[in-house]
Amino acid sequence: MSKVSSCCSCGSECCGPAPTKKKIEIDFLYLDLSTCGRCQGTETNLDEAIREVSSVLEAAGYEVTLNRIHIDTKELALKHQFVSSPTIRVNGRDIAMEFKESLCQDCGDLCGDTVECRVWISDGVEYNEPPKSMIVNAILKEVYSGSAAPQDKNENYVLPENLARFFMGKEKSEA
């Protein structure tokens, strides 16, 4: 009769080293959380989506890191290759498959000019904030697609005119 060894699951060396958790990096990039309803709603839905999916991810051996990145200068927009506000990226990939913008009165009021912000398209329907289901699906798709490598930076990135206008207007209004 052979002896069967079992692990005590205590996390000590008797069981071997603890498995390394795989990383999921989520970036939430936004222009304003104090005034902009789209950014506020996106933040709320993102927080709820992460809360709802976190136990599944943890059980699958993943660790989620959420980076809230306030894009408050043109330099930060260039550094993060910011295309539209708000943006959610999972492992460097924008979760929005379709890209569309519409007039955002809140951000326009901030800079004293007209500004367009992101419109989220999910199942053919347009939303000013991404639905939780869209965010959950994007996170799970990234996890189970097997691609853990972040998306490469776009060498041809140019700050969109819309954002350049926002930052110029903001600088004028602050002066």
In the chain, % of residues over pLDDT 90: 67
CATH number at residue 132: 3.40.30.10
**Would you state the pLDDT for residue 152?**
62
Distances (CA, A) of 21 to 8, 97, 158: 20, 28, 35
For residue range 29-82, what is the model confidence (pLDDT) as tens digits? 999 999 999 999 999 999 999 999 999 999 999 999 999 999 999 999 999 999
CA diameter of the chain = 84
Q: Is 105 helix (H, G, I), strand (E, B) or coil?
A: helix
Residue 1 covered by a domain: no
pTM for the model:
0.84
Domain count for the chain: 1
> What's the CA gap between 140 and 30, in Å, rounded?
22
Residue 139 covered by a domain: yes
Residue 79 covered by a domain: yes
Residue 126 covered by a domain: yes
Residue 68 covered by a domain: yes
Which runs of consecutive H residues, i.e. helices, occur in 113-160? 132-144
* The two structure tokens encoding residue 38: 């789209």
| Phi and psi torsions of 33, nearest 5° | -105, -10
**Would you state the pLDDT for residue 2?**
47
**In terms of residue numbers, what domain contains 117?**
20-145+159-174
Run of H or E including 69? strand 62-70
